[in-house]
Amino acid sequence: MIRAVFIDYMGTLVQEESEYANAVIGRCFKQSKATKPSEVAAWWFFRHDELLEECNKNEYKTEYEIAYRTFLLAMEHFQFTDDAHMLCEMLTKHWTCSPPFGDAVPFLQNCPVPVFVVSSNDTLYLEEGLRRLDVPIAGLVSSEMSGAYKPDTRIFKKALEVSGCLPEEVIHIGDSLRSDALGAQKAGIKPLLLDRYGKYGPCVFEKVSSLTEALEWLLQKGCSR
């Protein structure tokens, strides 16, 4: 019996690309030796994710601190100078104001079981972003609360603690094969992989192409308010 849904935030409820993210990448690109903005974006997010992984193995740092470090490394790599704190402040607008997908609010409004948002974002920015959605949720779990980033099982175990559920009583919906699906599976939680753009192809995980389809999946499993 499914008693609760865990769901990812960035890339699942809200869009990973926004005018705010484009603005900060564009600012870096204009000062850099890069040939196009996508080169800066790809390098930045790859290095950012590497630093998240390092934190899971060593001392925890907030995502803001990791972003600050990533901007410093980007300046060194692409040979430009800027205020890393200012770049981080620009990025917080992306974390808090990135537009939701069209199916996000209807899903949260109509989900037949309690929804807990499980995110690698910092608590402050996650709370602000969810306030902007203006939809009640049962709770949230951030990387700060667990001291770890997805796919580390500590963040999923913290979500189980907060929800009061056993692993077999929840599903986790997210758009990342590695961070969401594999991370949840390692914690003993059934993942439902959100593949909006068909980028994953055949895989071992059950997939949905939208949160509308995810809602239908829950109803077919007999979930009801």
pLDDT tens for the chain, 225 residues long, are 899 999 999 999 999 999 999 999 999 999 999 999 999 999 999 999 999 999 999 999 999 999 999 999 999 999 999 999 999 999 999 999 999 999 999 999 999 999 999 999 999 999 999 999 999 899 999 999 999 999 999 999 999 999 999 999 999 999 999 999 999 999 999 999 999 999 998 888 999 999 999 999 999 988 776
**CATH number of the 4-15+98-220 domain:** 3.40.50.1000
Residue 225: predicted pLDDT: 66
pLDDT (0 to 100) of residue 221: 84
For residue 71 the two structure tokens come to 């901007």
Domain ranges of the chain: 4-15+98-220, 19-97
The order of strands in the sheet holding 170-174 is 139-141, 115-118, 4-7, 170-174, 190-194, 207-208
Helix (H, G, I), strand (E, B) or coil at 145: helix
Let me know: does 12 contact 175? Beta carbons within 8 Å: yes
pTM score over 0.85: yes
Q: How many other β-carbons are positioned within 10 Å of the β-carbon of residue 142?
A: 23
Report how far residue 92's alpha carbon sits from residue 96's, in angstroms, rounded to the nearest whole number: 6
Identify each DSSP E strand in 40-189 by its residue range: 115-118, 139-141, 170-174
